Amino acid sequence: MKSKTSLLIGVAMFSAFSAAAQTNIVSSPDGKLKLNLTCESGTLSYSVNYDGNTFLEKSPLGLITDIGDFTKSLQQTGFKIDTVAFDYSVRTLKKSEVKGKATRAVWNISVDGNPVYDIVFMVENNDIAFKYQFHRYPVKGEERFCAVINDDRTFFNFPNGTTTFLSAQMPGGTGWARTAPSYELPYFVDKPTGDNANGAGFVFPCLFKTPSGWVSISETGVTSAYCGSHLVCDKNSSYKIANPIESDFNYNGTSAPGIPLPGETPWRTITLGTTLAPIAESTVMWDFVEPLYSPSKEYTYGAGTWSWIIGFDESVNYKDQKEYIDFTAKMGFVSVLVDNWWDTQIGRDSIEILSKYALSKGVSLFLWYNSNGYWNDAPQTPRNIMNNIINRRKEMAWMKSIGIRGIKVDFFGSDKQQTMQLYEDILADANDFGLEVIFHGATLPRGWEKMYPNFIGSEAVLASENLHFGNDFCNLESYNATLHPIIRNSVASMDYGGVTFNDYFNTANDTTIWGGHRVTSDVFQLGVSVLFQCPLNHLALYPRVTKENEPWKLQFLKDVPTLWDDIKFIDGYPGKNLILARRHKDTWYIVAINADEKPLKKTINLPMLKRDITLYSDDMKLNGSVKPMKVSANGTYQINVPHNGAAIFVGKE
Ligand code: CA
């Protein structure tokens, strides 16, 4: 409270000296992060410093709407700071219990004496979240009850020398069966700023390396009350928020979101630090959003399997699914995902029999659905159910009656507000029938694990299906695995569908039929079950190959949790290597992977391991082994991880 008082006096004094420019400083609870807010010549801007270094230079704020251009002629009419504490528990996040503090600043902005919006900033030690809260604003003396946000002029101006780690947004109506955007483009690392992916911009989260550290930009709290946004490069190292691309969703729905008045935008988020640790460990996506409804039952989690990744469409038949149910039960897993065409290749009557059989073995089924509708040409069935409230609820009632666990809905292809409405409607209806929900061909979840209690995870990444599709992607498996835990998976659960012991992603497990050739080690595959976080994790195991594997590998997968209590980034560089730790109860899993041609030789410090531990590691030919180890007196470990290999430490704290 002391700092609050002195800060407010400082602002008042500064204002008195300069009527044209008003500057406000918001400090994080630990004082290291400083957000500078300026109102000058009718415009708003902010800059961000950490530990004395500039992470974001002076960047404009404001919005252009159908009721006015609110980027100019703006006046600061008030500025208040206080401290808020948060304390919540969500089982499906990277941390189960979150406690923290933020400095809250509310910046009141007017035009000609009429309050237009307040910008609310939450400043944590390594995170900033902010949103625009609109007032009811009169247009020519007439009261307005809604507005359209035509252009969000919120900028992120990076210092010279910043490089980018980005995945491009896909323009709508492109790609296979016009399903884009499917949020499935590769990440390019350490690229200079200035490129804008042929005008499409980039998907959240967007990772940048400044001369002083790392910055991740994203958004959270997106519901049917707004669109999903993305980031575009305006010029050089200047980036800004962008509305969805017109061609999304087969040109249906508007790009510009509408809000009621009063109303608000989602939270824009900035996470930064001198290392990647604050980004990998951040919970800002969930700190300021709330559950939108109560869970209709206690949802449960665990591992599962899915046949499609190895057996493709042909495996979606009664016999193979029954084999997967038996295998899943034997592994002690909880779920089998029955993928596309089940309605024609298995049939509803047989699905009922399969579901009953699964339940008798302690397993339950996920069923795949096409989201379509009228927005792309994906032919896979069942179609025209999830897009329609009447069909959807009837189907969900049937699913509930036969004990189905959840749904995987695919092929959305848009960030428009109309599509956000569809996501939300499916989630809310599914909760009424006790169903868990996974989205594929879908946008990044934005705080949804906390907001929608039956939400499990989304794809929103170049996922394991691409390992099936070809060798190019297989060759990049370790490269991608160094990126996801600190980029895509750092902000939301990721339904990746990996972890296999197949040498080839096909049922023959050889070159006689189509299917990518795996180049990573078996220990690497075990490591993926730790690195990629999703509370219900369908693994790419093929029963006929898996049963030939050494028992210790299978035991690892039987034991490894899908729910985590804590995360620690230990070391790594995107695209090269990663050492990441996750804790479940009192057990830490620490995984080191190496995408570089050279072996990763390093002394690492693992102070969290206090007792005897188990080490899973590879020799230089990627042959895995397991051995017990003693914790050394100084808590350091020498690792030597080959290209495409891994080392995993498991031990109690
Ligand atoms: Ca996909």
Q: How far is the CA of 434 from the centre of ligand 1 (A)?
A: 25
Which residues lie across from 156 on neighbouring strands? Answer: 239
CA distance to 198, 508, 588, per residue, from 191 (Å): 15, 40, 34
* Per-residue pLDDT, 547: 87
State CA 537 to chain mean position distance: 15
Cα 153 to averaged position of ligand 1 atoms, centre (Å): 31
pTM: 0.96
594 part of a folded domain: yes
- The CA 50 to ligand 1 mean position distance, Å, reads 38
CA of 438 to the centre of ligand 1 (A): 12
- Please tell me the distance between residue 462's alpha carbon and the centre of ligand 1 in angstroms: 7
- Residues of the chain with pLDDT > 70, as a percent, come to 97
Ligand 1: centre distance to CA 458 (Å) = 10
- Joined tokens for residue 564: 């985590």
The CA 347 to ligand 1 mean position distance, Å, reads: 24
Q: Is the pLDDT of residue 196 over 50?
A: yes
Over 70: is that where the pLDDT of 518 sits?
A: yes
SS (H, E, C) 578-609: EEEEEEECCEEEEEEEECCCCCEEEEEECCCC
- Residue 425 CA to ligand 1 center (angstroms) comes to 21
Are residues 281 and 230 located together in one domain of the fold?
Answer: yes
1, part of any domain: no
For residue 580, report the distance from its CA to the centre of ligand 1, in Å.
26
- 610 pLDDT band (50/70/90 cuts)? confident
User: Looking at the 3D structure of the chain, how many domains does it have?
Assistant: 3
Burial class (CB in 10 A: 0-12, 13-18, 19+), 81: buried
In angstroms, the CA 642 to CA 594 distance is 7
Single out the residue in 547, 563, 579 at which a domain terminates.
563
| One domain, residues 206 and 326 | no
Please name the residues in contact with 421: beta carbons below 8 A apart, sequence gap of 6 or more: 224
Distance 510 CA to ligand 1 centre (A): 24
The CA 439 to ligand 1 mean position distance, Å, reads: 9
* Mean pLDDT across the chain: 95
Tokens of 558: 């039987």
Cα separation, 55 vs 211, in Å, equals 8
Burial class (CB in 10 A: 0-12, 13-18, 19+), 354: buried
Query: Is 431 strand, coil or helix?
Result: helix
Indicate the pLDDT class of residue 8, thresholds 50, 70 and 90: very low
Q: How far is the CA of 459 from the centre of ligand 1 (A)?
A: 7
pLDDT in tens, 76-96: 999 999 999 999 999 999 999
Q: What domain range includes position 443?
A: 302-563
Cis status, amide bond into 628, omega within 30 of 0: no
Check residue 19 and give its pLDDT.
Answer: 55
In a domain? residue 3: no
* Length of the chain counted residue by residue: 653
Place of tokens 């002029």: 153
Contact criterion met (CB below 8 Å) for 6 and 23: no
Residues 57 and 166 in one domain: yes
Q: Is residue 297 part of a domain?
A: no
| Separation of CA 441 and ligand 1 centre (Å) | 5
Q: How far is the CA of 465 from the centre of ligand 1 (A)?
A: 7
Q: Rounded to the nearest whole angstrom, what is the distance from the C-alpha of residue 461 to the centroid of ligand 1? A: 8
Residues around ligand 1, an ion, CB closer than 5 A = 441
For residue 12, name the pLDDT band (cuts at 50, 70, 90): very low
Q: What's the pLDDT score for residue 4?
A: 37
Same domain? 374 vs 494: yes
DSSP code per residue over 499-511 = ----SBSSTT-ST
- Distance from Cα 440 to the centre of ligand 1, integer Å: 6
3-state SS class at 508: coil
Q: What is the CATH number of the domain that holds 631?
A: 2.60.40.1180
Portion of the chain with pLDDT greater than 90, in percent: 94
Residue 136 Cα, ligand 1 centroid: separation in angstroms?
Answer: 41
Domain co-membership, 347 together with 392: yes
pLDDT in tens, 14-60: 343 345 799 999 999 999 999 999 999 999 999 999 999 999 999 99
> 38: domain CATH number?
2.70.98.10
Residue written as tokens 């509408």? 258
- pLDDT digit string, tens, across residues 549-581: 899 999 999 999 999 999 999 999 999 999 999
Is the domain of 191 the same as that of 320? no
Q: Using an 8 Å Cβ cutoff, are 65 and 54 in contact?
A: no
CATH number at residue 392: 3.20.20.70
Distance 164 CA to ligand 1 centre (A): 24
Task: Identify the CA nearest to 84 among candidates 99, 102, 100, 97.
Answer: 102
- Residue 253: HSE in the Cβ half-sphere, 13 Å Cα cutoff: 27
Question: In angstroms, what CA-CA distances link 560 with 535, 554, 611?
Answer: 12, 10, 19
DSSP secondary structure letters along 366-393: EEEEE--SSS-----SS-SSTTSHHHHH
